[in-house]
Structure 1
Amino acid sequence: MTHAEPDPLPLGRRLWHQTWPMAIGVLALLGFQLVDSAFIARLGTAPLAAQSFTFPLSFLIIGIQVGLGIAIAALVSRALGAGETARVRRLGSLVLLVGTATIALLAVALWGWQAPIFTRLGADAAGRELIRDYWGPQLLAAWLGAVLYFGYSLFRAHGNTRLPGSLMVATSLINLVLDPLLIFGVGAWPGLGLPGAAWATVLAFTSGLVVLGWRLAGTDWLAVSGLGREVRVSLRPFAGIAGPAMVSQLMPPLAALLAISVVARLGEPQVAAWGLASRLETLSLMVVLALTMSLPPWLGRCYGAGDWEQVHRLMRLALGVVVVWQLALGGVMAAMAPWVALMLSGTPEVQGELAVLIRFLLPSYAALGVCMLVVSAGNALGWPLRAMLMSGARLFVFYLPCLWLGAWLGGLTGLAMGAALGNLLAGITAWQVLRRILASPRRCPAKTA
């Protein structure tokens, strides 16, 4: 009996039902992060630039948690597709334990090494002082967010995208309400300034964890026995997926570190504009990010059941959705760039630089989305090494060289044009790689026991 696709709905509707809760959740989650930066922009250019310097390290934490989440979602969904329910429970417990401990150790290390890291990135003494007050609660928020993400991964692997999507919306709304209160204060309360944004996120994620823990307690998805044996059995396949997946996910933070060091040479307003553009990038990619969350568990179940025809159909549909959506959104945002920049920043010098970034970068995210979807699918379908190489090529063969060359030739405008060209080249290459892989059945990995 095939466990992969019991739902009788047409493929497009099933993909929609799996993706829309995550899309709304991602929109809410990334929306509050953008609003975070918009509130901080009202504090001045220096606090916004200080927050922007922390983005690459925040992306580093997210990269590791996503790499672990990809591996566990792939193994759990394959086990579900093969009908191995007892193993599914053991894997669920392991991801919560190992993931929570791993991110905690990383957060402690980043706190201890903050001075040399931010100095190397180009932050001056005044900027590092602002960062220090913000970085402690931000690391705590990042750890709480990682624990939430691991819980979301379990629900997604079991085909439940509604609870993660709903909790993303709820925690985002809580953060949105708390942000102005903790940043600017209310009444006699003077507010915390930049650290207030991080404390708002801490409180929002804590409330989400309470609900998530309550819902997990009502399932039979976790086990307390047999974990040692499962570690021995699953260590190799887990490492085979998690290793390349984490390398793939760690490449963007590394690229972001290199990119911010290039932007820092252009000046503080450019760093502030780049930080806002980074927040806007993740928000504009909400559909792509939602698909990278909802599609891999589905592909993994097809993998476990050996249903490669469904894999082809799913990928064609998902890629079509990504290209059409991102081109339409990118065109509209590029046309509205001056007004979007005006809403996000209260500083004229930052507004002008941000408008330039929006015009060139937003339309290029159609190609970037194709590459992201191909990498995500590769991890779910047993091609983690190809996915890792594709992710590396996107950043270090296409994106960073084009970005650096553009900045050298034309300042911020050249940088924006170079980054857009890098995204375009990466998307075309990813599409060609996927076509070659799926066109040859002999290259498709065999079903595992």
Structure 2
Amino acid sequence: MSKGRKRMTIDAPADTPLPAASANRLLTAPILPTLIRLAIPNVIAMVGTAVVAVAETSYIGRLGTEPLAAIALVFPFAMLTQMMSAGAMGGGVSSAVSRALGAGDRTRAEVLALHAIIIGVCGGLVFTLIMLVFGRSLYSLLGGRGEVLEQACSYSVVLFSGAVSIWLVNTLASVLRGTGDMILPAATLLGVAALQIVIGGTFGLGLFGLPRLGMAGVASGQLIAFSLGAVFLLLYMASGRGRLRLRVKSFAFQRVMFIDILKVGAMACLAPLQSVLTILIFTKILATFGTATLAGYGIGSRLEFLLIPIAFAFGVASIPMVGMAVGAGMIARARRVAWTAGAVSALIIGLVGVALAIQPSLWVSLFTSDPAVAAAAHSYFGWAGPGFAFFGLGVTLYFASQGAAKVGGPVLAATARLLLVAVGGTALVAADAPASALFALVGAAMVVYGLGTAGAIRMTRWVK
């Protein structure tokens, strides 16, 4: 491809000119009110995600203890798909788009959107291939045996057959968020959540006279709902009604566009990978304590994963604000946005952690009445709950650092958390420690992660 062709693709004027930087509200509006305004749609969408998690766990709990233990094996991989596509690579997409817009280059942002879609499709295909080929082996390594393993595989095969749809929804939503549009992505995710609840419950439990498909039926809700969501967002952006338009006819592959996204997204993917690996190592250790302890931890870790979307709501709200400020050379404002978002997230998630440390039955009673399972879950919240505030701080600052294209420090903080759990957990098991000691280790690792991320951002120089 000629250099002239590349220049024409990047520099050609758009149909509608981008407002000057001084007219861009994300660069001039008060930080805290703007963050809250951008975060509210995401909070609402994440409430929908939380409701889905509660509904699915409730459905699975009705299917029996083995399915409940099975979901503890699959859930880390399911959340890894979401975290990589929405938070890690999605953050890279939002960062690249917002930095282009902050510099006043709308056409570049539109070209970036098309390259992001290609990355999303490839990411989904990779997850489908890995989980369909190696899923059973992975669940066996985590301690899955007998009926628990079979139930895990039944859920996994259906779920990961639709990984491309999950990646596409989250990629397109990230493009829109990079422009400052939080409402349409949130509305789409709410619609997907509603469909997932209805379809998963109907097929999983055999409602309205339909066959009871069990775990495969519950997973089908996510498969169908995200497929419909992906089609909707593609049609919307192709129609030109959004702030950016997908200009497919004039599209040309440009290596620099992939680099702009992947220099943030690829490295950022290490953080959720480390986070899930932390959970997998811990799950493997706890599997030796029996099914009841594993199921109880599954209930507790499910909430831990659900706290990520709460931090996500404020984190992704900070990405376009930080990215546009960096693109416009307003570094001091970018840093103020990051610290404000982190503080708000830590406060909210910290309150959740303290509340559940004091009264864990508020969450646990939603999923089980088994005394042994409930006791394990109560112990988890009692020891790990106080660390949730630091977890929220770390996750939100990780997103803010994506807006500045400086994710190395937060990734290293996630590495420290992983090493603490792996080494400390192994040592505690060797010392024949009780499960409560391992749960206390989880809380300590959250503190290390939050303070490590904050320290890394404090010492990292942000530049345009």
Contact 2:38 2:317 in 1 (8 A): yes
Q: 2 CA distance for matches of 1:329 and 1:254?
A: 24
Structure 1 residues 35 and 405: CA distance shift in structure 2, 3 A: farther
CA displacement, residues 187-227 of structure 1 (integer Å, 9 cap, x when unaligned)? 54341111111011222223323432332133242222564
Q: 2 CA distance for matches of 1:73 and 1:345?
A: 39
User: What is aligned with 1:215?
Assistant: 236
Could you tell which deviates more after superposition, 94-103 or 64-73?
Answer: 64-73
User: What is aligned with 2:295?
Assistant: 272
Q: 1 CA distance for matches of 2:23 and 2:310?
A: 23
Q: 2 CA distance for matches of 1:4 and 1:305?
A: 12
Matches within 5 A, 1:49-198: 49-65=69-85, 66-198=87-219
User: What is aligned with 1:393?
Assistant: 416
Q: 2 CA distance for matches of 1:158 and 1:324?
A: 27
Q: 1 CA distance for matches of 2:25 and 2:313?
A: 22
Confirm or deny that 1:444 pairs with 2:462. Answer: yes
User: What is aligned with 2:381?
Assistant: 358
Secondary structure in 2 aligned to 1:388? helix
Pairwise CA RMSD: 2.2
Contact 1:93 1:222 in 2 (8 A): yes
Q: Which among 9, 25, 30 is matched to residue 6 of structure 1? A: 25
User: What is aligned with 1:440?
Assistant: none
Contact 1:331 1:363 in 2 (8 A): yes
Secondary structure in 2 aligned to 1:221? coil
Q: 2 CA distance for matches of 1:308 and 1:98?
A: 29
Structure 1-normalised TM-score?
0.91
Q: CA deviation at 1:392?
A: 1.5
Q: Which among 12, 21, 28 is matched to residue 41 of structure 2? A: 21
Q: CA deviation at 1:23?
A: 1.0
User: What is aligned with 2:15?
Assistant: none
Contact 1:88 1:221 in 2 (8 A): no
Confirm or deny that 1:312 pairs with 2:330. Answer: no
Matches within 5 A, 1:374-389: 374-389=397-412
Secondary structure in 1 aligned to 2:289? coil
Q: 1 CA distance for matches of 2:57 and 2:456?
A: 37
Q: CA deviation at 1:377?
A: 2.1
Q: 2 CA distance for matches of 1:284 and 1:232?
A: 36
Contact 1:72 1:238 in 2 (8 A): yes
Confirm or deny that 1:45 pairs with 2:65. Answer: yes
Q: 1 CA distance for matches of 2:51 and 2:291?
A: 24
Contact 2:394 2:410 in 1 (8 A): no
Amino acid at match of 2:178: A
Specify every segment of 5 or more residues in structure 2 that has no aligned partner in the other structure, as ranges. Answer: 1-19
CA displacement, residues 59-107 of structure 1 (integer Å, 9 cap, x when unaligned)? 3323432432122211111111111111111110111122112311321
Q: 2 CA distance for matches of 1:236 and 1:171?
A: 31
CA displacement, residues 228-274 of structure 1 (integer Å, 9 cap, x when unaligned)? 45x22234333322331122232122222212111111111122122
Q: CA deviation at 1:426?
A: 2.2
Contact 1:30 1:282 in 2 (8 A): no
Identity of aligned residues (%): 22
Contact 1:4 1:301 in 2 (8 A): no
Secondary structure in 2 aligned to 1:344? coil
Q: 1 CA distance for matches of 2:232 and 2:257?
A: 29
Q: 2 CA distance for matches of 1:213 and 1:81?
A: 24
Confirm or deny that 1:201 pairs with 2:194. Answer: no
Q: 2 CA distance for matches of 1:376 and 1:295?
A: 7
Q: CA deviation at 1:285?
A: 4.1
Contact 2:315 2:397 in 1 (8 A): no
Could you tell which deviates more after superposition, 202-211 or 47-56?
Answer: 202-211
Secondary structure in 1 aligned to 2:109? helix
Q: 1 CA distance for matches of 2:273 and 2:23?
A: 30
Amino acid at match of 2:379: V
Q: 1 CA distance for matches of 2:30 and 2:462?
A: 25
Structure 1 residues 27 and 409: CA distance shift in structure 2, 3 A: farther
Q: 2 CA distance for matches of 1:191 and 1:273?
A: 25
Q: 2 CA distance for matches of 1:142 and 1:269?
A: 30
Amino acid at match of 1:6: R
Could you tell which deviates more after superposition, 383-392 or 23-32?
Answer: 383-392
Q: CA deviation at 1:112?
A: 1.0
Amino acid at match of 1:169: L
User: What is aligned with 2:348?
Assistant: 325
